Amino acid sequence: MRLEVINTGTELLLGNTLNTHLAFLGESLLPLGLRIARQLTIPDGAIIGEAILETIGRADIVIVTGGLGPTSDDITRDLIAALLGLPLDLDPAVEAAIKDRLAHHQREMSPATRRQAMVPAGATVLKNAFGTAPGLYLPPLPVPSPPHSLSPHLILLPGPPRELRPMVRDEVLPLLRSLCQGRTAIREMRNFRLANLGETQVAATLEPSLLSLGDVELGYCARAGEVIVRLLGTPAQLAAAETIVSAAFPAHYFSSSEHPLEFTVVDLLARLGQTITTAESCTGGFLAHRLTNVPGASAVFPQGLITYANQAKSDLLGVPQILLDQHGAVSPEVCAAMAQGALRAAHTDHALAVTGIAGPSGGSPAKPVGTVFIGLASQAHPEPLVERFLFPVERETFKQLAAQSALDLLRRRLIRMV
């Protein structure tokens, strides 16, 4: 089964928007034994017809993204229907779903919005749980030229990632699985997640043993403070791989799920029946944001403090003025006092404190931009543990690395308690 992807969207070619669909689709299709043979990006507009024609006789399946919305440049649906000679009919179920969705947002349906309920004859509607434009699946159909040829299986998806991603997971992958049945080698994919290690070190240590498992596919993905080892193989190979990974890096391997580190931390806290609070300076709420991204976080995270100014560190955390004066806000002493103060204020089992210099300004030779101290105080270990890091990167990555290190410091304490 040869699959191609066509991404429509002028914004992708003008440099406004990164094409994240390609990587997402590539990763999602792998377990089905499907690979993307070619991917084309084209502007909004009539060229989509030409691009589809080029795939005829070459591709079995074509996934098209974008151009299904309500504005004048959203013409994928109309052009493909015209190309295949299919009439467009108003689908009452889609229309009702759009109306419902708009009513929820206290908006009325306009003629432009109603266009999204037009479905080419013979198409299957792919539900959009997060937007008004449904996806569409068109089975192979005769095309005008070359004679007697059939179009590929066509899957049309909306452009916004928050609509496309759930649709791929819930509608497209089951459909493709049935199309591929018996025609591709279906394997499973697992992401082994390792905290605070470098990609080179992980690869050098694991690669010989993982490749000795036989016919597996191995990839690495480096994120902020995390390396993901991606393995495609049989269930037995994946089980053996997990043993290899966890034995090689027992302190760093934290999950084989799709979820980042905060899910592991919240899960550990919930299993222990314990709670956490945060005192953030340079991460400015990002650490709390990550914890509260986990459904059910409220059971383990009652409150958090963002103490950006020194006054806030004194007022809210009781950090003694003398420590701020003598050591500065970015110091192990102030970090320890922040963690202790947060623990006292929230009556939780654990408190994480972060103080550092996110930049772009504010550094000094002794404490350059990127310096960060992370402190952990616990009821069972009242003396705070403070670690120092240097992340000389731009502001958002700095916040990610600092929050990741804080979560990992807590994780390492919690795994010794379960």
What residues from 84 to 143 belong to the interface with a second copy (CB under 8 A)? 104-105, 107, 110, 112-113, 130
- What DSSP element (H or E) covers 95? helix 92-104
What is the rounded (10 degree) CA torsion for 321, 324, 327, 329? 160
Give residues 335-364 in contact with a second copy (rule: CB under 8 A): 345-346, 358-361
Angstrom CA distances, 306 to 310, 385, 388, stand at 11, 20, 20
Candidates 313, 59, 86; CA nearest to 179 is 59
Give residues 224-243 in contact with a second copy (rule: CB under 8 A): 224, 228, 230, 232
- CA within 13 Å, CB half, 17: 17
Distance, CA of 290 to CA of 301 (rounded, Å): 11
Distance, CA of 174 to CA of 93 (rounded, Å): 21
- The least CB distance from residue 99 to a second copy, in Å, is 14
Residues 360-399, mask of contacts with a second copy (x by CB under 8 A):
xx----------------------------x-xxxxxx-x
Of 72, 146, 273, 365, the residue at the interface with a second copy (CB under 8 A) is 72
Is residue 270 involved in binding a second copy (CB under 8 A)?
A: no
Distance, CA of 280 to CA of 374 (rounded, Å): 10
- The least CB distance from residue 268 to a second copy, in Å, is 18
Does residue 296 contact residue 318 with C-beta atoms inside 8 Å?
no
Burial class (CB in 10 A: 0-12, 13-18, 19+), 119: buried
Of 64, 136, 288, 402, the residue at the interface with a second copy (CB under 8 A) is 288
- The least CB distance from residue 277 to a second copy, in Å, is 9
Is residue 11 involved in binding a second copy (CB under 8 A)?
A: yes
Total residues contacting a second copy by CB under 8 A comes to 105
Of 143, 305, 334, 352, the residue at the interface with a second copy (CB under 8 A) is 305
Does residue 268 contact residue 254 with C-beta atoms inside 8 Å?
no
Of 2, 28, 124, 209, the residue at the interface with a second copy (CB under 8 A) is 28
> Which CB sits closer to a second copy, 73 or 242?
73
DSSP letter at 150 equals B
Is residue 78 involved in binding a second copy (CB under 8 A)?
A: no
Is residue 145 involved in binding a second copy (CB under 8 A)?
A: no
> Which CB sits closer to a second copy, 44 or 91?
44
- The least CB distance from residue 304 to a second copy, in Å, is 4
Q: Could you tell me where the beta strands, DSSP code E, fall in 241-289?
A: 253-255, 276-280
Q: What residues are paired with 381 via a beta bridge?
A: 378
Of 1, 36, 216, 272, the residue at the interface with a second copy (CB under 8 A) is 36
Is residue 273 involved in binding a second copy (CB under 8 A)?
A: no
Pairing of strands 3-8, 36-42: parallel
